[in-house]
Chain A
Amino acid sequence: MKKILSVLLAVTLLTGLFAVTSLAEADGGAVRMLVAVTGGKDAEEMALFAQALGEATGLTIEMEKPADYNTTLMQKLSAGESYDLIYLNADMYMNLVQQGALTDLTDFISASEILTNNVPPSEWEDLKVDGRICAGFNKRELHIVVNLNKVMLEAAGIDYKAVEPTLDGYYQTFKALRAANGSPDFYPFNTVLSQNWDLQPWMSAAGLKGGVVADEDGLTYVPYATDAAAPVWEWFKKLYDENLLDPSSFVDGTGDMRNKMNAASRLTAVDVDWAAWVGLHNANAAAGGVSTQDYEIVSLPGCRTPEGAYRLRKGSASLFAVPVNASNVEGAVKVLEYFATQEGGLLLSLGIPGHDYTVDNDGNYTLTEIGASHAMDHGAPVPIYTGFVNPIGLNLGVEEALTYIDYAGIETIIANENDYKSIVGKWAISMVRGEIGIPEGLAAMRSELVAMGICQK
């Protein structure tokens, strides 16, 4: 027994040595990054990515990618571990700014030509908390559009470009779709109501913005919970009552919704999803041998606001921030600068030159087999650099969806976003199912939002 044990211990000690890696020093010092979505898709590619990023910036890059990002970030920061760049999404950003854990980058950004010129000022504006900016960008956020199955619409005798951009226009469209497809499992419209994903194209008919907004007296409130939103909720209730809204919308996640929308199922004809998903649905169908005669997804910007424009939601930011205990802030800013250039954008989207893609003498870009399986996403499918050009081209339908981006804006970032979503979702479902009247439901929604400290009135 003793022998076995000592052999086992020896084995474990030896194998542990694999984990030790050493790094060569570079001029600009070392930058230590904790990343979630950015970088290579496996350990080998991660090393190549760090090397490529290091060569481009003159830094020694060390990248770590935990599997359970939130938990690991919390454990590492509270243990006092020092990183120069950490990946954050918008609500984590708010929480960390509130705790004073992030370095103020405002001066670095205004001093940097690249960061001021290559990134639209409105993007920086969105990150300001009390006038300070404490992060830079990982990627450019796209917006959410109405996705429509063009083939199904044509079967119902509708040209998608002729859909009237009002609640009633979409209602008539859904009714025509229902009449053309009597299958009991088919529903013209599906949306993830439980996380109020994404109501903006419909709420815009009432001119309302999602999230938390401040009124003229500075009091915060949730527009979707006001009485002005009642007509839109009535509309949802009508869709549910008339079997036009998939009842699974109360419980489905985005994955279920997409599965119903895709070429394999075709159980719904209209949903609301990221602009990129228009292209992904089409690309997946093409990869599965389905022609555009049988299946094609197109997009629309939803309902017109009372002012005659449209209103769409842009994704909340995906960011890189510098913790207050970072040792190389200059190096970190250099990385942020590189991410905001064409070359940095190529690295974040196509991937590593020679590994994910090749360029021939005429300047033509070709994805390698590895690169194709990574689908031009190494952290930023669309990089933050305003002038970025993707040399390979976009999936079918994305170009059209991108034309609506000028209508899109972000919601105010709030720290307890999950609570907000689940409270609005809960009362929304109650109202749509008719368990509670719309005015009573909205009043209850408001009072719970206030009780949970999400807004003031």
Chain B
Amino acid sequence: MTPAGKTRRRNRTGKLWRRVKRYRFIYLMTLPVLAYFLVFSYYPMALGIYNSFREVKLLGAASFAGLNNYRTIFSSPVYIQAFVNTVAVGSGKFLLQFIWGLLLAVLLNEVHRKAVRSAFQTVSYVPYLLSWSVVGSIWITLLSPSGLVNGLAQLFQGDSYRKIVFMSERSHARAIMIFTGAWKDSGYTAALFLAAIISINPVLYEAASIDGATRLQQIRHILIPSIRPTVKVVVVLGMMGLLRNFDQIFVMANSSILDKVRNLLYLIYNEGIVQFRIGPASAAACVVLLATMAISFTVRHLIRYDQLS
């Protein structure tokens, strides 16, 4: 390094140090939060990662296992299948939830009576507040042979109709999980979008309508581009949750469709909690963590949502 470069560097670090000093109180304010995450998130995570490299016995000494746990899960056809299921159901649900939520938000915005809009918004948000054990059992009943869906189909098709046992149809299994998953969470997505939509400056619409744009054109050319920042955040949040869908599958799966929908977290539960095999379960959880990070970083890189203008 040339002497000139050295001075430049020293200047830069000096400047950095001055800036750090200037913000010392800000750092102090962050300290409790960072300390909290260190203790309650990172420390347990580190222990979990450590366990994934060991053969852990419930009682008694654990031994170092190298990559054995990882080898176990990567050579198991069940894990491969679970990974496929996770991605298929997860991305399907995300897409449908995204479209459904956006549609719901745009349509709610078209409802002018405030009371009506508020009522619909509340109703669509409620499933998000309930747990899967409630929502899951409701849909299982609705889709059962004596349930509402078969009842409606019979009404239209007459007596020759043979009832469909939806929850045991292997070809419908993933679609049902995707649909019910989106049904539960789309009210929440809609709320996120609606929040962005109502903050759009009304002057923009007025200008467009003076130019002769129809309402649909306004939605297409003004509304959608204006909420782009929210779209980005929704995508990133969706990606972070893509691989984490335990409760729904746990409540709604049954043996005839299990191998179509059983996902990684379900397997981890069965391995770690039911059969007490902590090593492979930790390894699989690590894979979920790594995959989530990879997906999130790729998406963040692609859409650079957290970059400030």
Contact = CB atoms under 8 A, between A and B. Distances in A.
Q: Is chain B a partner of chain A in the same complex?
A: yes
A256 B145 CA distance: 12
**A interface SS class:** helix
B276 A99 contact: yes
A429 B168 contact: yes
B166 to A, nearest CB: 8
Of A78, A325, A418, A425, the most chain B CB neighbours within 10 A belong to A78
Contact of B58 (A78, A418, A423): A78
A387 to B, nearest CB: 36
A452 B58 CA distance: 23
17 contacts: A74-B278, A78-B278, A95-B275, A100-B57, A185-B146, A194-B256, A247-B145, A248-B144, A248-B165, A251-B165, A256-B144, A267-B146, A323-B59, A324-B59, A423-B255, A426-B259, A429-B255
Interface in A130-172: none
A100 B60 contact: yes
Contact of B258 (A96, A426, A433): A426
B206 to A, nearest CB: 43
Interface stretch (B67-75, B230-238, B266-274): B266-274
A416 interface: yes
A74 B277 CA distance: 10
A92 B140 CA distance: 29
B12 to A, nearest CB: 38
Interface of A: 70-71, 74, 77-78, 80, 91-92, 95-96, 99-101, 185, 194-195, 246-248, 250-252, 256, 267, 323-325, 415-416, 418, 421-426, 429-430, 433, 451-452
B145 A425 contact: no
Contacts of A92: 276
A78 B259 CA distance: 30
Nearest to A423: B255
A265 to B, nearest CB: 10
A432 B56 CA distance: 42
A194 B278 contact: no
Contact of B168 (A91, A96, A99, A250): A250
A100 B140 CA distance: 40
Contact of B276 (A74, A267, A418, A429): A74
Contacts of B60: 100-101, 324
Given A100-B60, A323-B59, A74 B273 contact: yes
Nearest to A416: B275
B63 to A, nearest CB: 13
Contact of A194 (B254, B259, B273): B254
A2 to B, nearest CB: 13
A77 B273 CA distance: 12
Interface string B243-285: 0000000000011101100000000001011111010000000
Contacts of B145: 246-248
Given A101-B60, A195-B255, A426-B255, 4 more contacts: A78-B278, A99-B58, A194-B255, A194-B256
